[in-house]
Structure 1
Amino acid sequence: MKKTLRLFIAAPIPDAVTRFLKNTRTTLDQPGLNIRWVPVENIHLTLKFIGDIDAVSVDPIAERMDAAAGANASFALIARSVGGFPNLRSFRVLWVGVDGDTRRLETLQRSVESELETLGLERERRRFHPHFTLARARQRVDGGRFGLLDASWTQHASEAFRVDRICLLASVLKPSGAEYTRLHTSYLAG
């Protein structure tokens, strides 16, 4: 029997950004806001969701990640503003956005997609929208009711941080939430 793993590639975030996201969560958490918060230690910047794949594919994926990372220099980002999918006025996913050198982030993400395509993995069809997921809801939530449409949230920002590595993570879904195991780390150039 084949062993399959649920995989994705993400850029880890430093402790200072994790604290910023935790403080954001604390500020946003209000009675009546019926959402399920993502544990802050599980928050990351996803570059590519691979999905369920045979465990023997881990090494070839790691090699392609190394090639993508090595072709890109490190860069700086900022966690900024609060948003929602499909929109903040009526959301099911609450997130903090990404600002800074987003062109380099998009170039890195396209490099990862291109390298994995050589292994037969399909490109993501949706436009890349970098973000940090804070919470999910079973039903749409009215962001205006909880003050999330206030203009001050657009200025809400972390300190700048460097993206200098990407990680291959395995996700195990449990009733208590997802648990992640790091399988490989690839370092960006410079």
Structure 2
Amino acid sequence: MRTFIAIDVNDAVRSVAQQSIEKLMKRGFKANWVSKENVHLTLFFLGEVSRHQIDEVAEHLCHRVIGFPSFSYIVDKLGYFSKGNQPRVIWLGVKSNQSLQKLYEEMKAELVKHNFSFEERFSPHITIGRVKDFPNAWQALIEDITFEPIVVAVDRFSIYSSQLTPTGPIYKQIYECSFEGGLIKHE
């Protein structure tokens, strides 16, 4: 199954994501927009993984982060990844901090032990859309959208399956792991 590891966001972030998408649509952007309930901060995309592997990795990751201190991160801007002079992905920016980076590094070290490999460096962001078409002067139209910074508390991570459908992906939470030492399996 196609899987990823993520940190959930709060309702304030979901609301800002929805408001930003509505503004971008009115400004002529066409994209595969992320639905409000699917907004999250991806830590790792694992790709196609067997159920057995996920069960094993979930247990090991959760054991590794037991006792990890709760922390928060700040969502503070709208941004984009581009290729050439074309926007590809529009996202909400996450101000990286030591705790978020440390959680990523701890989990990455455990995943490498289980033969997962990751080339990219960690650039925390919350994807809200994969751009299909865009208006002229697109940069200014994205950079013009602002919002008050939002603080998001973190005390757990989740592992999701992602089923691709013609109407967009369907995410299903498989595991949830609290830093205080609880692994919950969702059926």
Q: TM-score range by the shorter chain?
A: 0.7 to 0.9
Name 1:129's counterpart in structure 2: 123
Q: Does 1:44 align with 2:40?
A: yes
What is the root-mean-square deviation in Å for CA atoms of aligned residues? 2.4
How far 1:184 moved relative to its partner?
A: 0.6
**C-alpha distance in structure 1 between counterparts of 2:137 and 2:163, whole Å:** 30
**C-alpha distance in structure 1 between counterparts of 2:98 and 2:65, whole Å:** 15
Aligned residues: 181
> Identity of aligned pairs, percent?
29
TM-score normalised according to structure 1 size: 0.84
TM-score normalised according to structure 2 size: 0.86
Residue in structure 2 matching 1:115, options 104, 110, 116: 110
**C-alpha distance in structure 2 between counterparts of 1:118 and 1:141, whole Å:** 45
How far 1:162 moved relative to its partner?
A: 0.3
Task: In structure 1, give the amino acid aligned to 2:168.
Answer: G
User: Cα–Cα, structure 1 residues 161 and 120, in superposed 2: closer, same or farther, change >3 Å?
Assistant: same
Unmatched tracts of structure 1, length 5 or more: none
**C-alpha distance in structure 1 between counterparts of 2:49 and 2:137, whole Å:** 37
**Aligned 8 A contact 1:90 1:142 in 2:** no
**Aligned 8 A contact 1:91 1:141 in 2:** no
Unmatched tracts of structure 2, length 5 or more: 182-187
**Aligned 8 A contact 2:6 2:157 in 1:** yes
How far 1:65 moved relative to its partner?
A: 1.9
**C-alpha distance in structure 1 between counterparts of 2:106 and 2:135, whole Å:** 35
Task: In structure 2, give the amino acid aligned to 1:138.
Answer: K
Name 2:150's counterpart in structure 1: 159
Deviating above 4 A after TM superposition, structure 1's stretches of 4 or more consecutive aligned residues are 139-143
**Aligned 8 A contact 2:76 2:150 in 1:** no
How far 1:56 moved relative to its partner?
A: 1.2
Residue in structure 1 matching 2:65, options 63, 69, 73: 69
Name 1:78's counterpart in structure 2: 74
User: Cα–Cα, structure 1 residues 173 and 107, in superposed 2: closer, same or farther, change >3 Å?
Assistant: same
